[in-house]
Amino acid sequence: MEFTRRDTLAIGMGAVAITVLPFRVNAAAEEAISAFTGGADIAETGVTLIAPEIAENGNTVPIGVEAEGAVAIMVLAMGNPTPGVATFTFGELAGAHSASTRIRLAGTQDLVAIAQMADGSFAKASSNVKVTIGGCGG
């Protein structure tokens, strides 16, 4: 197959759209993150985020977070219309500082979990979840 100039241009623009889009969607998420951290540095270790690699249906995606010594953990779905998912605040009688729930994902995207530690530092983990589009699905 031969690529015409127009084809190449179209493919190129598609690629641009793909790379540019996440940044736009992320604006609200960036705001949520800075509200949570106050702009502090975020370490890349210390938080575990468990999510399926492929979610069979974006309507109910099981996820779990854990961060030893965390005061609170915020979960964001970077590609949702509104990125907020949940913020877990652990009390004095929390066992393991972990929690699981089921969430909605509007499409294939990154999930981010940010933990606030007892010493005031922050840490995060992220995971890409591919959301399949149903077949006929009835």
Partner 1 sequence: MAEGVKPRVKAPSSAAAGEAVVLKTLISHQMESGQRKNADGTPIPRSIINRFTCEFNGKSVIDVKMEPAISTNPYFEFEAVIPEAGDLKFTWYDDDGDVYEDVKSVAIA
Partner 2 sequence: MKFKAMTAIAALLLSVPAMSLADPDEDQLVLNGEMESVTETAAPAHLSDVLDTIYSGWRFRENETQALQMDDFDNPGMIFADLGLDQWNAVEGEEGKSCASCHDDVTESMKGVRAVYPKWNEAAGEVRTLAMQINDCRETNMQAEPYKYNSTQMTNMEALISVQSRGMPVNVAIDGPVQATWEAGKEMYYTRFGQLELSCANCHEDNYGNMIRADHLSQGQINGFPTYRLKNAKLNQTHDRFRGCIRDTRGHTFDVGSPEFVALELYVASRGNGLSVEGPSVRN
CA-to-CA distance for 47 and 95, rounded, in angstroms? Answer: 16
Asked whether the beta carbons of 53 and 88 are under 8 A apart, the reply is no
Q: Which of 54, 104, 52, 94 is nearest to 73 (CA)?
A: 94
Structure tokens at 78: 């970077």
Question: Could you give the string, one character per residue 16-55, with x where binding to partner 1 holds by CB under 8 A and - elsewhere?
Answer: ----------------------------------------
Kindly identify the residues of this chain, within the stretch 18-47, that bind partner 2 according to CB under 8 A. 18, 21
CA-to-CA distance for 121 and 21, rounded, in angstroms? Answer: 30
- The piece of 2-10, 19-27, 48-56, 100-108 that touches partner 1 (CB under 8 A) is 100-108
Q: Which of 71, 47, 67 is nearest to 124 (CA)?
A: 47
86 binds, among partner 1, partner 2, none (CB under 5 to 8 A by kind): partner 1
12 binds partner 2 (CB under 8 A): no
Please give the residue ranges that form the binding site for partner 2 (CB under 8 A).
Answer: 14, 17-18, 21, 52, 54-57, 59-62, 79, 106-108, 130-138
Please give the residue ranges that form the binding site for partner 1 (CB under 8 A).
Answer: 59-61, 64, 77, 80-82, 84-96, 98-105
